[in-house]
């Protein structure tokens, strides 16, 4: 596809369950970013990848959160033992490389933990 | 503390100019960005400025950068109701965003 694709668009899960959120970046984009956006807040940086490696994961809130990008394209954000406070919209963005003039955002995955 | 700070709310009358301000802390940023988010929509890049520039004009948008004070502003001329949205500034180093300024345009 032409843009950044995130699946699923909505996910409802029970407290304590494990979830995976997927991001398909624009083809050829080497930099990929994950954010979390709560209602009324700006996107909160979680992690960014340059290629396959996590160049900066300082925004991951705790060890329940983990992200991978094994082939330098698709990325998966994994959340273990979900808590109600994890409910938010999870946004993914990609850019040609880190520091490019534009990062393109997906529509996000709305995660609701009940 | 916050790496990127913005005022939270701006109300402006249709046809007037809007000015949204932002301060940032990371002086290594190569670019600084303004993004727009409309209700229920994704983030859309509005404009950006190189860190070695102090002004950029793009149609109704003017970006001013004071690198010494790490202050960025976005001016929207002739503000329209379609400009009502949340505006975020962001810096390059790890694409860190401010909390956003909600702009409400009244007729």
Q: What is the DSSP string of A7-66?
A: E-SEEEE-TT--EEEEEE--TT--EEEEEEE-TTSPPEEEEEEETTEEEE-TT--STTEE
Instruction: Give A58's contacts in chain B (Cβ within 8 Å).
Output: 94
Task: Report CA torsion sign: A4, A93, B80, B57.
Answer: negative
Q: What's the pLDDT at B94?
A: 64
Percent of chain A at pLDDT > 90 equals: 81
User: pLDDT grade, residue A46 (50/70/90)?
Assistant: very high
Task: State the CB neighbour count (10 A cutoff) for residue B23.
Answer: 18
Chain A residue whose CA is closest to B95 = A45
Neighboring chain B residues of A101 at a CB cutoff of 8 Å = 31, 48
Chain B contact for A101 (CB, 8 A cutoff): yes
Q: Where are the beta strands (DSSP E) in chain B?
A: 4-6, 9-13, 18-24, 31-37, 43-50, 55-58, 61-66, 71-76, 85-91, 96-97, 101-106
Of B31, B42, B88, the CB nearest to A42: B88
- Please report the pLDDT score of residue B93 as a whole number: 59
Please check whether residue A77 is in contact with residue A12, taking contact to mean a CB–CB distance below 8 angstroms.
no
For residues A10 and A100, give the distance between their C-alpha atoms in angstroms, rounded to a whole number.
Answer: 29
Q: What is the mean pLDDT of residues B57-86?
A: 95
Mean model confidence pLDDT for chain A: 93
Q: Are A18 and A111 in contact (CB under 8 A)?
A: no
Distance of alpha carbon B107 from alpha carbon A101, whole angstroms: 34
Q: Does A105 touch chain B (CB under 8 A)?
A: yes
Mean pLDDT on A70-98: 94
- Determine the distance in angstroms separating the CA of B25 from the nearest CA of chain A, rounded to an integer: 15
Neighbours of A33 (CB within 10 A): 27
Structure confidence at residue A1 (pLDDT): 53
Mean pLDDT of A25-45: 91
Helix (H, G, I), strand (E, B) or coil at B22: strand
Answer for the pair B51, B29: CB distance below 8 angstroms, yes or no: yes
* pLDDT digits 0-9 by tens, B4-61: 889 889 999 999 999 999 998 887 777 889 999 988 788 888 999 988 899 999 999 9
Q: What is the pLDDT of residue B1?
A: 41
- If you count residue pairs, one on A and one on B, with CB atoms under 8 Å apart, how many are there? 47
Greater confidence (A82 vs B28) lies with A82
Q: Output the 3-class SS for B39-68.
A: CCCCEEEEEEEECCCCEEEECCEEEEEECC
pLDDT band at A47 (very low <50, low <70, confident <90, very high): very high
**A45–B92 CB contact, under 8 Å:** no
pLDDT at B97: 87
What integer is the mean pLDDT of A32-52? 91
Contacts of A99 in chain B (CB under 8 A): 30-31, 92-93
Hey, is B20 helix, strand or coil? strand
pLDDT level of residue B91 (50, 70, 90 thresholds): confident
* Percentage of residues in chain A having pLDDT higher than 70: 96
In this predicted structure, the answer to whether residue A100 has a pLDDT above a threshold of 80 is no
């Amino acid at each position: 596809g032409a843009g950044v694709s995130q699946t699923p668009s909505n996910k409802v899960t029970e407290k304590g369950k494990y979830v995976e959120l997927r991001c398909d970046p624009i083809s050829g984009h080497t930099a990929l970013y994950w954010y979390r956006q709560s209602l009324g807040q700006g996107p909160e940086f979680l992690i960014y990848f340059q290629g396959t490696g996590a160049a900066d994961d300082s925004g991951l809130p705790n060890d329940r959160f983990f992200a991978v990008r094994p082939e330098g394209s698709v990325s998966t954000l994994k959340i273990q033992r979900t808590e109600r406070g994890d409910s938010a919209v999870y946004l993914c963005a990609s850019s040609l490389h880190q520091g490019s003039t534009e990062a393109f955002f997906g529509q996000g995955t709305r995660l609701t933990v009940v | 503390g916050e790496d990127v700070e913005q005022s939270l709310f701006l109300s402006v009358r249709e046809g007037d100019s809007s000015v949204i301000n932002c301060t940032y802390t990371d002086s290594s940023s190569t670019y600084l960005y303004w993004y727009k988010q409309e209700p229920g929509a994704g983030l859309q890049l509005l404009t950006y400025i190189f860190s070695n520039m102090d002004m950029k004009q793009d149609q109704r948008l003017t970006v001013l950068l004071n690198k010494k004070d790490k202050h960025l502003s976005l001016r929207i001329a002739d503000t329209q109701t379609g400009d009502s949205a949340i505006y975020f500034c962001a810096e390059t180093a790890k694409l860190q965003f401010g909390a956003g300024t909600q702009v409400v345009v009244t007729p």
